Every structure is written in structure tokens, then in C-alpha cells.
Amino acid sequence: MEHFTLLNPINPASTWQLLIEFWQFNDMNVLWVLIGSILLGISASVIGSFAFLRRRSLIGDALAHAALPGVMMAFILFQTRDPLVMFLGAVTSSFIGFFIIDWLPKNTKIKPDAALAITLSFFFALGLMLLSFIQGMEVENKSGLDKILFGQAAAMTQDDINLLMVVTSFILISVVLFFQKFRLIAFNASFARSLGIAVNRYELLLALLIVMSVVVGLQLVGVVLMAAVLLTPVATARLWSDQLKNILLLAGAVGALSAIISTQISYLAPAMPTGPWMVVSLSTLFFLSLLFAPKNGLIKRYLQQQQLRQKVAEENILRTLYKLWERTQFEQNDFSITDIQGLRAMHTLDLRKTLKLLCRKQMLKESAHGFRLTDMGLEQATQLTRRHRLWENYLNEHLELSPDQVHSQAERIEHILTLEQEKQLEEELKDSRQDPHGNLIPNAKKTKTPAHPSKQARSLSS
Amino acid sequence: MNKSTRPSPIKVQNLSMRYHHKPVLTDVSFEIPEGKTIAIVGPNGAGKSTLLKGIMGLEPLIEGNVSFFGEPLAQKRLSTAYVPQREEIDWDFPISVLDVVLMGRHGQLKLWQRPGKLDNEIAEQALKDLKMWDFRDRQISQLSGGQQQRVFLARALAQQANLYLMDEPFAGVDVATEKAIIELFKTLKAQGKTIVCVHHDLNTVGEYFDWIVFINARLVAAGPVEEVLTKENLQKTYGGRLSLLNDLTEEMYRTRLNQAHDSD
Amino acid sequence: MNDIWIIATASLVAISSALVGVFLILRRQALMGDAISHSVLLGIVLAYLITDSRSLTVMLIGAVFIGLLTAWLSDTLHKVGKLQSDASIGIVFTLFFAIGVILVSLYAGQVDLDQECVLYGEIAFVPFDTIIWGSTENGVDIGPRAFWAIGIVFLIVLTSIVVGFERLKTVTFHPSLALSLGINVVFWHYFLMTLVSMTTVASFDAVGAILVVALLVIPASSAYLVASSLKSMLWIAAAYGQASVLIGYAMAFWLDSSISASIAVMAGLLMLITIIVLEVQKKVFGKQVKAALKAS
């Protein structure tokens, strides 16, 4: 891409210089903008979480677009850039948008997703129409109204910032005050209603809070991308926790962090709009969480799978050795890899690896004659065999299955049966000694009871 | 039990399906006879509808095999007609009764083809058989529940299949519709067709059907009504004694044990 | 003469969008339409930066690629990340759009796009950006680029719908039936997304991203309220789209406002009128029924 040049190439030295300046807060304005954006990040994320939980993730998108005509109209009517006037205008038209999004699916054939898209695009078009009208008007102060499309932190005045701080504080306080009710309504509105809670009033309050947080963020993030600030933080937080309180805190933290990063970048490159950078930081945090989150992250899931696979392989081998030993009437103890592969199909390399692992865990002992179970290994193998065969009996009693089916199902379940469940099975099956194939079920104790030779090797499939 | 001439209309082997981690169906195997009416019966959430959808390839199987008249579904689509539950549809869709029924003729049409004269005649006959011909130009949003069901059945009929799979056709319909459906069953049986229904009403199952398949996440029993409709089987199906089984199978799926195990 | 080019281009935009929009509405994928029309910005910018060409084919390919990527990534995020489907859509398209805006402002002036133009286009400039066929000396000026862009897309959309009409109808009305009949539902889904991507990018010059959404969704929704068959819904949606263009253009002229915005607003007003008429009809009908019941 050498034919394209960056407008303002990044000069490391001056960048570092600027960064230091930023954090020294020599420019008070910078500090106020930073605080304002952090508050915005927190309040939008928190209130957006409730919208997300009510399955209306993209309502922030529609409401942000719906605010545009209100801003324009307020300007046309009052000819002022006073933040409070702009704010009220925006809130009014956004609220009308909210009402329409609600009304359309309830009273016409139109479905909720279409209602969102219709409101979003219609109001936005109306706003743009008014903007173009304003641009033709002979008035002062009209420039910069279009900064609201993508956000521009640098364009904010002290008044703007004051309003931002007041509104976001109000939002956060309301959430803290009404947390219990909001949570109940988000989870199960009809139950809340049955308890006598005035659900409609709280829903109205929630709507108002969503509208306010969207409107107040427009200057920083812009109309088009505001949706992301409400939606991405909670999506990220959910990857880390299941508790609502923690989700809200995490979402707020994510919002705040992204606000800091994007304000920083905005300072370094004042010509660029701030909104996109906030979205990029939020998305990066989201995708990183998707990969690395301890509970649900993709990498974690992959590692868990690998661990499980290893455990299953080990246990399978232990059981196979037990079976081999049982078949020789408990005489022979050492078995080779070929012997093992005779009973259980496994790649030689994988088999060798797992055998080595088991030796290291002292479950097996290797010698010139082959592999044998140690005492510890025997205990484990006995327990596994016991569970396998108990489970086969259980299946046989309750369902009509062929011996093959019984065996293959038990092959899997044996790895996750717990001691408690084992006891439960014993009680239910009232003392059975043999599994459906005629093999003896080993006792819970370490000692092995000698088998009746005639009952051995009745079926090949075990 | 089996006609030695033709393979069974449906043969299910070791079918397992799930929803998220919940084991909906595990290791189900059965075969159904031709020319009979078969009911799939079990408690709510037992996997009956899911079984039907799995058989029709509408939802993924974890494992298992289904054959239709001895061949895979792809080879036998023209012989198979599926009637889903009514809830699935957007009843606000702009479409008339006749057009819905004509949709059933699609299996026979190529990409760019429109329904022709023959298709229209078949659709007309199907509607008349279900006594819905007078409604042919109505919007489906204007129909009652029973009428909607009959439109779906007419569509299946228009497919001129040999095997009909229906998901709760009797649910929430009026007496007239119920009678119409029974009449339809008789007519189809007389033509040697096979009908498999998910059915929810134990009171009528013996009356309307020849065969029963009892499902509760597993196959409990399958066979002719006289043999299989017993107290013991009802107990096993509806008795709810399989909690340990379900818990463990769920745990297996949650930890993806089945994948870890089988990939050796 | 210029007016005619403008109206012709706008009409093609409105009609193509209306036709594709009908399927989006019926499949409840209006938000995916919104998402794709934002994402294609990134597609256009990337295509331009990589190939240094503003040719139509390049733009279409870039747009289709990103459009399909948006649809696929949203779907995957939903399945693998276990995220609600509209949240998945939201995260993907806002990211793509943000990256697009950043790229545009980083290379501003050199990419022949500016942020605001991208959002709402400026159809008034369309007539001046024309294509010269043949050499620069004795070539023939065959009209505005934007007109040809949307013209080609319109033909593709129209042909696809006509040829695949029965399939599209079945897949849209009842996907499980379609599946059980052996129709490849996944193919048709991505095929529709391809049409959306092409329509969006071709409309960019004329009306910009957000207004494409208006034309995709609003005329089709108005038609949904009154149509009684899929075929008539397509015709009626196209009619609403065309009407929005003609009346909207007049309104823009009268109020001296942005043409594209006025067209979109007009689409909304026409829908509003339709709803009001239907509501009145309902009430009148209700009264008639009451009167009839009283009389009997």
C-alpha cells in the first residue's frame, strides 16, 4: 500500500510525548472529557445490560438513530446549542421512537425486528433531512451539528461535559436504587406482576434511562455506533460470570476501560472521530474474552476437552488391563502392548504415551515382561470395572437394549459415575453379582473374589 | 412381522439427538411396518417431535442411521411427506390456502418451474378430500386452528407420498377436523400408505392407531397395539424412573465425554 | 436532463431494495439487512485499498465478500459463542463499520469517500460522475456511474427472483418444509444475503448506508400490511418504493433538503398513511358489525 500515505504518520517520539501530556492532565479539559467518557462507558454498559437481558440488544441502535431529528428540531426551534435544550430535544424524539417500536408489533402485522429497522431508518432520515435544511438556513452556530454522527470528544464544551456527568450519575444512582426490581422484571415480568409490582412503571423508567444514556453518549460515540456501547460490554461480561451483579460490574469496567483507551487515542489524533475507536476497543476486549475467559472461553473449552480425552484414555487402559488379568484367571500379571491392543483398538503411539503417563503416576509398572497394575492401579481399575458392570445391569433392567448397546453405553458412562451414584445403583439393583454378559462384578473392597471358571469368557463383547 | 418383499418404510438404528446438553433421545432403534397407522407416544418433553424431526433430517443427529424403504432419505424424498406442528408458521404471511397446498408439489418441480395444470388438479383434489376447497382463495390468517391443520394435511396429501409423518395432527382441533383426519387415515391405509404420527392423547391412541412406539428419551417399547399397550409399558414410559439415566447422559454431553471417548 | 438521471437512479435503487426487502421482512431478517448495509463500507474501502481500483466489479466483490462474512460471523458467534442472535449481529457489524470509518479517515482524501457521504450519499452529484465508454477522445458518455451500477444490480435481482420464485417462496414461508423437500435452505439464505450486499453497495453512491436500510425495510413493510400473496407483495413494495422516489424528490425540491433523505422520509410517511387507513377501516368495519348484530 505504498501509494497510500497516512495523513498524520505516527511519530513514536511525539506520540510518547503526547501520552505523557495526556496523563499529566495539564489540560483540564482533557481530564473532564476523560471523566465524562468513563462515566458514560459505565452507565451505558450497565443500562445496556438490562436491555440485553430483555432480549432487546439492538434497541440502543434504534434509539440512537431516533434521537437525531430531536436534536435538529430543537436547534431549529430555539436556535441555540445549549446542551440542555439539545438533550431534551433528543430525549423527546428518542422516546417517541421507543413508543413506535413498541406499538407497531402490538397493533399491526409488523414484527419486532422490522419495527426496529423501520424506526431506526425513518427517524434517521428525518434527522438528516432536517440537518440539510439547517445547512441551508442563515443562522449561526450551525456547524458541528454533524459531529453527532460519529462522535468527537474534542468538540465537547464544558457545558456538554457537565450535562454528561449529571445524567450519567443519575442513571447509575437509579440502577443502584432499583436494582432488585429491575432484575426481577428482566428475569420474569409476569411473576413480578403477580406479586403486585407496578411492572409498567418500572419498564417506563428503564426505557427512560436507556434513552437518556443513549442520547448523552451521542456526542462522544456518535449515532451510528452507540449501539455497540450498550451491547458489547454485557456480552463480554457474560463470558466471565453468571451472577447479575458481577455482570453489571464487569460490564461497567469494560465500558470504562474502552472509554479511557478511546479518549486517549482521540487526544493523539484529534482529527479522527472518537466513536469508532471506542467500538474497536470494546470489540477487542470481547473477542479476547471469547478466547481466553476462564469459564466459557474457547481456549479453556479446548484444553478441557484435551484433559478429558487423556483421562478417558487412561481409564480405558486400566480397565483393559483388569480384564486381561481376569481372563487369565488372575494368574498372569504382565501384558504387552499387543495384548492390550487385542482387546481395545488404539493407536500404538497414543497407547505408548498413555502407558508411560500411567507409569509415572504409579498406576502401572513396566518391566521386561510387559506392563502390570500396581496396587493403586488395581484399586482404580477395580472401581472402574465395578461401575461399568453395575451400570450395564441398571440399563438392562430398565430398558430393552441389546447386549452390545448396553456395553457401548456403559463404556462411556463409567468415566463419570461418582461414588455416590455407585452406591445408589447398588441399592437399586439389590445385590447383583454378575453383569448381563455373565462377568462377575468386583466387590467394593480391594480384594478380589475368585471367579467361577465356567462363567468366564461367556461373551466376547466385554 | 415384516413383509419380505419390501424393506420397512422407516428403520431407525441407534439414533441419538440432543438439545444443548440435554439428551433428548439416546440410542433409539426400531422398525415400522408398511400400510399401518403408527403413533409415537410419550410424556411432554420426551423427544417425540424431535424424533420426527431427526428422522426427517430437519435437526442434526449426534449419531444413528435412518433408512426409508431401505434407502437414505435423499433417495426417497418423493415418497415421504411431512406435516409439522402449526406453531412453526408465520400465519401473517400473504398466501392463500390453494398456494399453500400447491407448495407440496415442489418435490416434483425443478428450480425454475411453476406448478402446472396437473399440479393444480392434484391440489384441488387434496383440498376437496379435506373439505377445504371452498376456502381455496382465503388468506391463511383468516382460518381457524382446525382449518389450518386441514390445509397442512391437504398439502401433504398433494405430495402423493407413500409415507406420511405428522407432528401432533390432532392437537387443538375441532370435532369436524378430527373426523376428517380419521377419514383421511382410512383412505390412505386402504391405498397401502403408511402413517406415522406424534400423538399426545392416550385415550384415543388405541382407537386411532394400529401400532405404538413408546418414547421417553429412550425407546421403551414398539409394536402392535394389542401387544404393547400394557400397564407395564405405560409405567415405564410415564413413570419417571429414569432420572439417574438422564442426569448422567446430560453430564456426558456437558463434558463432551462422548467426543473424547469415541475419537480414540 | 440531470433530474431525469437522478430520478432514474433513485427509482432503480428503491425498486431493487424493495424487492430484496420483501424477503428480509418475511424472514424476520430486517436487522441483518441493517447490519450488512453498514458492513459493506468496510468491504468497499478494503477493496479499494487493496486493488487501487474503483471499478464496479471490484466494489461488488468486496461488498459481497464482507456482506457474507457479516452474515456468517454473526451466525457463528450465535452458535459457538452462545450469544443471542441480535447481539451477535450487533457486535459484528458495529466492529466492521467502525474499522471502515477509521480506514476512511486515516486515508482521507485518497479514498474518494468521506464519512458523511458514505452515510447518506449525495444523489445530487450522481449525474456528474459519468462513465466514458471507449477512449477519452471519441468515447461516448453513457451516463452516470451510479446509474449503471444499480442498473446491473437491479437486473441481477430481478432475474434471480423471477427464476427462483417458487423456491424462494417455499424457503421463506416454511423453511422446515423446504428442508424436508430436499431444498438447500442454507444456499438460499446466503444467496439472499448476496443480493442484499450487492443492492447496498450499488446504492451507496446514491443514497448512502442508512438510507438503504430505509428503502430495504419500509416499502416492503407497507406492502406486508396490504398484500395477499407473495407476488403482489413484491409488486406493491416496488410501487411504494417508486412513489417514495417521485413524491420525495418533489418534497426535496420544495423544501430544499437532501434528496435521498427526503425519499426515505417519504417512504415512512406513506407507511404511516397506510397504517392510518387500515386502522380507520378496522374501526368502521367494527361499527358495521356491531350495527348488523344489533339489527338482527
CB A278 within 8 A of CB A259: yes
Biggest CA pair distance of chain B = 62
Residue C24 has pLDDT above 70, yes or no: yes
Q: Is residue C36 part of a domain?
A: yes
Domain ranges of chain B: 10-262
Whole-number Å distance between alpha carbons of C263 and C244: 5
Nearest chain A residue to C263 by CA: give it.
A125
User: Residue A40 is part of a domain; what is its CATH number?
Assistant: 1.10.3470.10
Nearest chain B residue to C168 by CA: give it.
B111
Q: Is residue A113 part of a domain?
A: yes
Answer yes or no: do A312 and A186 share one domain: no
Phi, psi dihedral angles at A361 (to 5 degrees)? -80, 0
Q: Which of C246, B46, C97 is nearest to A225 (CA)?
A: C97
Pairing of strands C130-133, C140-144: antiparallel
pLDDT single digits (tens) B175-229? 888 888 998 999 899 999 999 999 988 888 888 899 999 888 788 889 998 888 8
Residue C212 has pLDDT above 50, yes or no: yes
Q: Could B94 and C227 be called an inter-chain contact, meaning their C-beta atoms sit closer than 8 Å?
A: yes
Q: Could C106 and A61 be called an inter-chain contact, meaning their C-beta atoms sit closer than 8 Å?
A: no
> In chain A, count of helices (H) and strands (E)?
17, 2
Q: Given its phi and psi angles, is residue C248 left (phi above 0), alpha (psi -120 to 50 degrees) or beta?
A: alpha
CB B30 within 8 A of CB B55: no
Q: Is residue C149 part of a domain?
A: yes
Most C CBs within 10 A among A1, A59, A118, hence the mutation to make, goes to A118
Answer yes or no: do A201 and A350 share one domain: no
Q: Is residue A182 part of a domain?
A: yes
End-to-end, the C-alpha distance of chain C in Å comes to 64
Whole-number Å distance between alpha carbons of A156 and B127: 68
Could you identify the residue written with the cell 424412573?
B241
Most A CBs within 10 A among C49, C97, C101, hence the mutation to make, goes to C101
Q: Is residue A158 part of a domain?
A: yes
What's the pLDDT at A461? 37
* Mean pLDDT for the stretch of residues A4-27: 64
What's the pLDDT at A431? 63
Q: Is residue A3 part of a domain?
A: no
Q: What is the DSSP string of A203-253?
A: HHHHHHHHHHHHHHHHHHH-TTTHHHHHHHHHHHHHTT-SSHHHHHHHHHH
Nearest chain B residue to A415 by CA: give it.
B257
A143 in reach of chain C (CB within 8 A): no
List, in order, residues 6 or more apart from B145 with CB less than 8 Å away: B86, B172, B173, B174
What's the pLDDT at B215? 87
Amino acid occupying residue C76: T
Could you identify the residue written with the cell 472401581?
A383
* Mean pLDDT for the stretch of residues C251-261: 86
3-state SS assignment for residue B56? coil
Q: Could C105 and A271 be called an inter-chain contact, meaning their C-beta atoms sit closer than 8 Å?
A: yes
Q: Which of A282, A121, A232, A126 is nearest to C33 (CA)?
A: A121
* Mean pLDDT for the stretch of residues A312-337: 81
Query: Which residues 218-237 of A have a C-beta within 8 angstroms of C?
Result: 224-225, 227-228, 231-232, 235
Q: Could A133 and C106 be called an inter-chain contact, meaning their C-beta atoms sit closer than 8 Å?
A: no
C87 in reach of chain B (CB within 8 A): no
Q: Could C261 and A129 be called an inter-chain contact, meaning their C-beta atoms sit closer than 8 Å?
A: yes
Of the residues A295, A321, A350, which one is the last residue of a structural domain? A295
C174 in reach of chain B (CB within 8 A): yes
User: Min CA distance, B103 vs chain C (Å)?
Assistant: 7
Which chain C residues are within 8 Å of A273, Cβ to Cβ?
101, 105, 115
Q: Could A346 and B264 be called an inter-chain contact, meaning their C-beta atoms sit closer than 8 Å?
A: yes
Residue C70 has pLDDT above 90, yes or no: yes
Q: Which of A152-166, C133-147, C248-262 has the lowest mean pLDDT?
A: C133-147
Count of domains observed in chain C: 1
At the topology level, CATH places domain B10-262 in: Rossmann fold (3.40.50)
Nearest chain A residue to B218 by CA: give it.
A399
What's the pLDDT at A456? 34
What's the pLDDT at A2? 37
Domain range holding C153?
2-210
Q: Which of B192, B196, B194 is nearest to B215 (CA)?
A: B196
Q: Is residue A437 part of a domain?
A: yes
Select from B74, B106, B139 the Cβ nearest to the Cβ of C170: B106
Q: Is residue A4 part of a domain?
A: no
Q: Could C258 and A109 be called an inter-chain contact, meaning their C-beta atoms sit closer than 8 Å?
A: no
Q: Is residue A209 part of a domain?
A: yes
pLDDT single digits (tens) A248-293? 999 999 999 998 888 888 777 777 777 888 999 999 999 999 888 7
Amino acid occupying residue A124: F
Burial of A456 (0-12, 13-18, 19+ CB in 10 A): middle
Can you name the residues that pair with B198 across neighbouring β-strands?
Answer: B40, B167
Q: Is residue C85 part of a domain?
A: yes
Q: Is residue C244 part of a domain?
A: no
**Comparison of pLDDT for B97 and C124, the residue scoring more:** B97
Angle at B14 between CA B11 and CA B20, to 5 degrees: 120
Which chain B residues are within 8 Å of A303, Cβ to Cβ?
none
Q: Which of A116-125, A222-231, B19-28, B192-201 has the lowest mean pLDDT?
A: B19-28
Q: Which of A441-450, B238-247, C4-13, C188-197 is most confident? A: C188-197
3-state SS assignment for residue B118? helix
Select from B220, B236, B257 the Cβ nearest to the Cβ of A412: B257
Report residue C85 as a C-alpha cell.
Answer: 442472535
User: Residue A391 is part of a domain; what is its CATH number?
Assistant: 1.10.10.10
What's the pLDDT at A457? 34
Whole-number Å distance between alpha carbons of C11 and C20: 14
End-to-end, the C-alpha distance of chain A in Å comes to 66
Domain range holding A285?
12-295
Q: Could A416 and B255 be called an inter-chain contact, meaning their C-beta atoms sit closer than 8 Å?
A: yes
Select from B53, B95, B139 the Cβ nearest to the Cβ of C230: B95
Select from B218, B245, B261 the Cβ nearest to the Cβ of A312: B261
Q: Is residue C42 part of a domain?
A: yes
Q: Could A412 and B219 be called an inter-chain contact, meaning their C-beta atoms sit closer than 8 Å?
A: no
Of the residues A245, A266, A295, which one is the last residue of a structural domain? A295
Count of domains observed in chain A: 2
What's the pLDDT at A25? 67
User: Residue C196 is part of a domain; what is its CATH number?
Assistant: 1.10.3470.10
Q: Is residue A7 part of a domain?
A: no
ipTM: 0.90
List, in order, residues 6 or more apart from B233 with CB less than 8 Å away: B214, B220, B221
What's the pLDDT at A3? 44
Answer yes or no: do A165 and A223 share one domain: yes
Residue A222 half-sphere exposure toward CB, CA atoms < 13 A: 27
